[in-house]
Amino acid sequence: MNFLYQAFGFVLLQIYNLVQNYGVAVILFTVLVKTIILPLNIKQTNSMKEMQAIQPELANLQKKYKNNPEKLNAETMKLYKLYKVNPMAGCLPLLIQMPIILGLFGALKEPGKWVFTNGDLSALSAKFLWIPNLGNPDPWYILPILCVVLTFATQKFTMKMQSSGDKTAETSQKMMMYIMPLMIGWFAISMPAGVSLYWVVQNIYTFVQQFLVMRKPVKKISIEEAERKVEESKRQDIKDKKRMIKEQSEMRQDAMNGQIGKKTKKKDKGNRPKTQPASGKKVTPSHKTITKIPHSDERSHKS
């Protein structure tokens, strides 16, 4: 991780050299990183919306095949394939973001080691808003409180927009909605104010992003429509299989006919009589026979 800490620390230092204010540099740095990974966040949000759209039919399948896990898994996979939904698509962007978030967090946690490597820490001691030193925790606890409030608001908004109807999942999400902000607030109390400032800015950015991407309500797919499409898909699969079997049968028949034709031609060629000498040379008779037809006067004289 040291490589990531050094890389993010270097970028943050370059931004600081431009603006000459560490607090402003942290804000710009956070916005820059969030903008770079924005396509991943949008992809994750869209995947979440797709999963939300098919939740009614998923709940119906879970109820219908609750005593048959294998059948439930098979029907669920068919539903994902039918609506082109990939449940893992939302996890991949998050996994890609994790090293970025950890690298950024590490650089902000120890700016004296990874950002201001020349040993000049005067930028940290410069006052920013009400904070006397961004290298130390916020003495007024304003940033930790903002971390708690904004994290809670972002999670609550996201949970409201992706309501699935699954009581167990919603219960777990509600627990995390209360536990996660409190954990972040607790850590922010002891962390450098620069880290808390980053968390506040990134929460504001995430809330605005979620609001813009998810402002259009998700139209959930009804159970009847999903089942109708599933049946249509099954009938189409049967037709495709029959067509494939027919094409394979025709190909095999064509291949057999071709083999029979080749054998017949070969047999005919072997039985054909030879009309010319094998050498190909012209045969000349060893002697000539000349037959002279007597003229009419000669025949009369003899008579």
Quote the pLDDT of residue 290: 47
Residue that wins the pLDDT comparison between 151 and 261: 151
Copy the structure tokens of residue 59: 């709940």
Quote the pLDDT of residue 287: 46
0.95 surpassed by pTM: no
Quote the pLDDT of residue 117: 87
Average pLDDT, the chain: 79
Quote the pLDDT of residue 48: 79
Quote the pLDDT of residue 273: 55
Quote the pLDDT of residue 58: 82
Q: How far is C-alpha 33 from the geometric centre of its chain's CA atoms?
A: 22
Residues in the chain, total: 303
> Which three-class secondary structure string do you get for 185-219?
HHHHHHCCHHHHHHHHHHHHHHHHHHHHHCCCCCC
- Whether residue 163 is predicted with pLDDT greater than 90 in this model: the reply is no
- Whether residue 127 is predicted with pLDDT greater than 80 in this model: the reply is yes
Average pLDDT (249-278) is: 65
Quote the pLDDT of residue 44: 79
> Over the stretch 135-148, which tens digit does the pLDDT of each residue have?
899 999 999 999 99
Average pLDDT (275-301) is: 48
Quote the pLDDT of residue 25: 94
> Over the stretch 54-100, which tens digit does the pLDDT of each residue have?
878 888 888 888 888 888 888 888 888 888 787 776 666 677 778 88
**Cβ-based burial of 191 (10 A; exposed 0-12, middle 13-18, buried ≥19):** buried
Average pLDDT (132-161) is: 89
**Where residue 227 falls among pLDDT bands split at 50, 70, 90?**
low
- Whether residue 300 is predicted with pLDDT greater than 60 in this model: the reply is no
> Over the stretch 26-64, which tens digit does the pLDDT of each residue have?
999 999 989 988 888 888 788 777 877 887 888 888 888
> Over the stretch 177-217, which tens digit does the pLDDT of each residue have?
889 899 999 999 989 999 999 999 999 998 998 888 877 66
The gap between the terminal CA atoms of the chain, to the nearest Å, is: 136
Q: What residue ranges do the domains of the chain occupy?
A: 2-166+173-221, 222-258
Average pLDDT (125-138) is: 89
Residue that wins the pLDDT comparison between 267 and 246: 246
